[in-house]
């Protein structure tokens, strides 16, 4: 009887092993022949991680939401594939030469195109833009979002957002149907870039007023972009259809875009392999498997991950300690072995591809365990003696756990310093992080727009809103103040460069670890993807250029 039992278990075990073997053996990628002929069904299927928080441009904050919003609306300006500014709803980009920008740089005048219409055929005028931009500062609407602060130099905006002013006092005025005037309290060299972003997209006043919070539902939402919101089945998918009334020069070839909501990225990969999706991100564990795959799409993401020190807590008050920590970490090994090649080791904060990138910054502190130990000794902690307990506090994502464990081991073997890892539930972590209640953590940043202004002042200015690492250096603050009003772009970039040099080379206020890259798979029948560093999802500034080939 016992023998029979053993037999049965053996049979079952071997079945299990066979099943696994079958999984390992089979091949996955199938080559589907594609021609250059456009397909009958021009439909692009993409994954979005979940239900959008909102599709309201003045409130939206998450990349996945913005991905969709960018198809439904067009603002005054847009980006080209090199991240230069081109006109969209405006006839031309304002400049000093064409009178769009006043001499003192405080007044911007936009001349709109004559053919602007909403997707239902109603004309789109400058007063729509006036309404939308003012809405951005409405204490009930945009002013509880994240991005209105970008535009706070518009006269009257700050007071309105604080609840002290009124919409009338905000200096965004529709002079006539095709002319919009914006006045600033002080010069802002990056305003044009910012006006190409989603918080400046126009929305329909009567629709918003009629439907209130439900105005973004399918059937209610009216936009002026190349696509309309055809269907929104909550928690399942969103369907966009080409806008028959689209006025732009870049009319879409696609008839439909479907955003399927799939929370798990490994499942998304499986859906892609089953031809349920046309594009998907390659999850980190599968990076090696798809290396060299003809469907792979890799490009720089304009994002950096770094070691975040709380500069006001021991031992990170001492720049020598911070530098020692950086030098003890082998970011090349991290990228090559742990991330299987996905990414680039980082030494400067601003990544390559961004204006203001300087490859020399941070290179004085390469991976050098001996040098690191030396610096630590210099700081007064020979062999790590005398160091207080160090804890790295992270949120509960897979990526953070991985990086934190890597760092812990690097510091232990290369520097002889033992740190603890504290994993907090995500909302708890956010809470602690935002209050700067941490000693050591992981930080990251991704570009909102292509300018060092987005990477430095709000993150490293003394008491700046996003400066949770409590970094403070008056010399840097000074450079920021100068750059904020410097209209000469070359000089401005130079000022930011000097600032970055101080932040990293002198102070190591934060220690960059790696630059992330996008690693995606795209089906061979998807043509015309144009990627930029500011994508929320690859190619999403230019879905109008995408076409599906017959397959």
Partner 1 sequence: MIVYATRRLLGMIPVLFFIAVVTFALMHAVPGGPWDREKRLPPQALANVEAKYGLDKPVFAPSWRVWEQEFWRELPDTQFVNYITDAIRGDLGVSYRQLNRPVADILLEGIRISATLGLMALVVSTVVGMAFGILSALRQNSWLDYACVAFATLGASVPNFVLGLLLMVLFTVHLHWLPSSGWTNPTTFFFLSIPSNWKQLVMPLIALSAFPTAYIMRVVRASLLEVLHQDYVRTARAKGLAEHVVVMRHMLRNAFIPVLTVLGPVAAFLVTGSFIIEYLFAIPGIGRQFVYSISARDYGVIMGATLFYAVVVAAANLIVDLTYVVVDPRIRY
Partner 2 sequence: MEEPGEITAERIAEVAVGDGLPPHRSLWTDAARRFTRNRIAVVSLILVLGLVGLAVLAPVVQRHDYRVQDLAHTSEGPSGTYWFGTDQLGRDQWSRVVNGARISLSVGIVSQLITAVIGVVIGALAGLTRWMDNLLMRFTDIAYSFPDLLMMILLLAAFGSGLILFGSVPVTMILAISLVWWPTIARLVRGQILSLQQRDFTLAAKAMGASQWRIVWTHLLPNTFGPVIVTATFGIPRAIFAESALSFIGLGIPPPNPSWGTLANDGFRFISAAPHLVLTSALAIAVTMMSFTFIGDGLRDAFDPRAR
* Site for partner 2, rule CB under 8 A: 1-2, 5, 20, 23-24, 28, 266, 283, 285-286, 288-289, 330, 333, 337-338, 340, 396-398, 401-402, 404-406, 408-409, 412-413, 421-428
- Using CB under 8 A, which of 264, 314, 383, 488 touches partner 1? 264
> Contact, 47 vs 262, CB < 8 A?
yes
Site for partner 1 in 400-429 (CB under 8 A): 425-429
Q: Which of 46, 116, 136, 161 binds partner 1 (CB under 8 A)?
A: 161
Single out the residue of 66, 83, 222, 262 in contact with partner 1 (rule: CB under 8 A): 262
Q: Which is nearer to partner 2, 50 or 123 (CB)?
A: 50
Q: How far apart are CA 192 and CA 78, in angstroms?
A: 9
Rounded to whole angstroms, how far apart are CA atoms 542 and 549?
Answer: 17
Q: Which of 273, 405, 408, 472 binds partner 1 (CB under 8 A)?
A: 273
Tell me 2's DSSP state: H
Shortest Å, Cβ 331 to partner 2: 12
- Binding partner of 491, given partner 2, partner 1, none, CB within 5-8 angstroms per partner class: none
Q: Which span (9-17, 383-391, 407-415, 489-497) binds partner 1, by CB under 8 A? A: 9-17
Cα separation, 122 vs 127, whole angstroms: 13
Taking CB under 8 A as the criterion, the residue among 84, 163, 285, 288 binding partner 1 is 163
Q: Residue 17: CB partners within 8 Å, gap ≥ 6?
A: none
In a 13 Å sphere around the CA of 482, the CA atoms on its Cβ side amount to 17
Alpha-carbon radius of gyration of the chain: 26
CB atoms within 10 A of CB 210: 11
Mark residues 227-246: x for contact with partner 1 by CB under 8 A, - for none: ------xxxxx---------
Confirm if 185 and 197 have CB atoms less than 8 A apart: no
CA nearest neighbour of 125 among 144, 136, 112: 112
Q: Which is nearer to partner 2, 22 or 37 (CB)?
A: 22
Q: Does 104 bind partner 1 (CB under 8 A)?
A: no
Q: How far apart are CA 402 and CA 399, in angstroms?
A: 5
The option from partner 1, partner 2, none interacting with 244 (CB < 5 to 8 A, set by class) reads none
Closest-CA residue to 512 (of 459, 462, 442)? 442
| Residues of span 132-151 touching partner 1 by CB under 8 A | 139-140, 143-146, 148-149
Query: Between residues 92 and 164, which has the closer beta carbon with respect to partner 1?
Result: 164
Give the C-alpha separation, 387 to 219, whole Å.
Answer: 61
Q: Does 434 contact partner 1 by CB under 8 A?
A: yes
Three-class SS of 310-325: CCCCCCCCCHHHHHHH
Q: Which is nearer to partner 1, 429 or 515 (CB)?
A: 429
360 part of the interface to partner 1, by CB under 8 A:
no
Q: Where are the alpha helices (DSSP H) in 26-94?
A: 63-72
Q: What number of residues does the chain have? A: 551
Q: Which does 146 bind (CB under 5 to 8 A by kind): partner 2, partner 1, none?
A: partner 1
At a CB cut-off of 8 Å and minimum separation 6, what does 311 contact? 317, 322, 469, 470, 471, 472, 509
Q: Is 17 in the site for partner 1 (CB under 8 A)?
A: no
Query: Shortest gap between Cβ of 61 and partner 1 (angstroms)?
Result: 7
Q: Which is nearer to partner 1, 77 or 262 (CB)?
A: 262
- Is 419 in a helix, a strand, or coil? strand
Q: How many residues bind partner 1 (CB under 8 A)?
A: 63
Nearest to 502 by CA among 479, 468, 469: 479
Which among 187, 146, 149, 152 is positioned nearest to 172, based on CA atoms? 152
Q: Candidates 90-98, 262-270, 317-325, 372-380: pick the segment binding partner 1 (CB under 8 A).
A: 262-270
To the nearest whole angstrom, how small is the minimum distance from the Cβ of residue 406 to partner 2?
6
H-helix segments, 449-519: 457-460, 474-484, 489-501
Q: Does 261 bind partner 1 (CB under 8 A)?
A: yes
Angle at 142 between CA 136 and CA 143, to 5 degrees: 105
Q: Could you list the residues that contact partner 1 (CB under 8 A)? A: 1, 4-5, 7-9, 11-12, 16, 19, 22-23, 26, 28, 50-51, 53-54, 56, 59, 61, 139-140, 143-146, 148-149, 161-163, 213-214, 233-237, 260-264, 266-267, 270-271, 273-274, 276, 425-432, 434, 465-466, 468
């Amino acid at each position: 009887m016992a023998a029979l039992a053993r037999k049965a278990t053996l049979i079952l075990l071997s079945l299990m092993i066979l099943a696994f073997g079958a999984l390992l053996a089979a091949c996955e990628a199938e080559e589907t022949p594609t021609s250059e002929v456009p397909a009958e069904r021009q439909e692009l299927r993409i994954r979005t991680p979940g239900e959008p928080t909102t599709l309201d441009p003045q409130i939206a904050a998450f990349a996945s939401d913005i991905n969709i919003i960018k198809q439904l609306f067009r603002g005054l300006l847009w980006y080209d594939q090199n991240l230069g500014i081109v006109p969209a709803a405006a006839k031309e980009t304002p400049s000093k030469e064409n009178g769009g920008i006043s001499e003192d740089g405080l007044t911007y005048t936009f001349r709109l195109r004559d053919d602007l219409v909403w997707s239902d055929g109603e004309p789109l005028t400058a007063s729509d833009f006036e309404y939308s931009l003012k809405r951005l500062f409405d204490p009930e609407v945009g002013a509880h979002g994240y991005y209105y602060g970008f535009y706070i130099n518009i006269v009257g905006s700050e007071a309105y957002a604080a609840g002290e002013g009124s919409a009338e006092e905000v200096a965004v005025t529709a002079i006539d149907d095709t002319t919009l005037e914006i006045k600033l309290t002080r010069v802002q060299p990056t305003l044009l870039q910012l006006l190409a972003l989603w918080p400046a997209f126009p929305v329909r006043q009567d629709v918003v007023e009629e439907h209130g919070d439900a105005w973004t539902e399918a059937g209610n939402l009216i936009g002026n972009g190349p696509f309309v919101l055809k269907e929104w089945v909550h928690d399942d998918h969103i369907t966009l259809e080409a806008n028959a009334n689209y006025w732009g020069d870049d009319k879409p070839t696609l008839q439909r875009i479907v955003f399927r909501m799939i929370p798990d990225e490994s499942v998304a990969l499986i859906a892609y392999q089953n031809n349920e999706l046309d594009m998907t991100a390659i999850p980190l564990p599968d990076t090696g498997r798809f290396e060299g795959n003809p469907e792979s799409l890799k490009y720089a993401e304009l994002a950096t991950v770094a070691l975040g020190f709380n500069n006001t807590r021991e031992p990170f008050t001492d720049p020598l300690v911070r530098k020692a920590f950086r030098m003890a970490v082998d970011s090349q090994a991290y990228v090559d072995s742990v991330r299987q090649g996905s990414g680039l080791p980082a030494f400067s904060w601003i990544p390559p591809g961004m204006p203001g990138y300087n490859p020399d910054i941070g290179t004085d502190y390469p991976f050098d365990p001996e040098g690191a130990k030396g610096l630590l000794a210099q700081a007064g902690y020979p062999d790590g003696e005398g160091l207080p307990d160090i804890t790295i506090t992270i949120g509960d994502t897979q990526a953070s756990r991985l990086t934190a464990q890597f760092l812990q081991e690097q510091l232990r073997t290369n520097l002889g310093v033992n740190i603890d890892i504290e994993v907090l539930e995500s909302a708890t972590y956010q809470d602690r992080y935002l209050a700067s209640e941490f000693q050591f953590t992981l930080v990251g940043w991704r570009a909102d727009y292509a300018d060092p202004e987005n990477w430095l002042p709000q993150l490293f200015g003394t008491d700046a809103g996003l400066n949770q690492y409590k970094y403070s250096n008056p010399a840097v603050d000074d450079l920021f103040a100068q750059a904020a009003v410097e209209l000469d772009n070359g000089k401005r970039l130079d000022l930011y460069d000097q600032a970055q040099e101080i932040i990293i080379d002198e102070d190591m206020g934060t220690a960059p670890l790696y630059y992330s890259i996008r690693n995606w798979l795209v089906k061979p029948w998807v043509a015309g993807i144009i990627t930029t560093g500011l994508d929320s999802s690859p190619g999403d500034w230019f879905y109008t250029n995408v076409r599906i080939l017959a397959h």
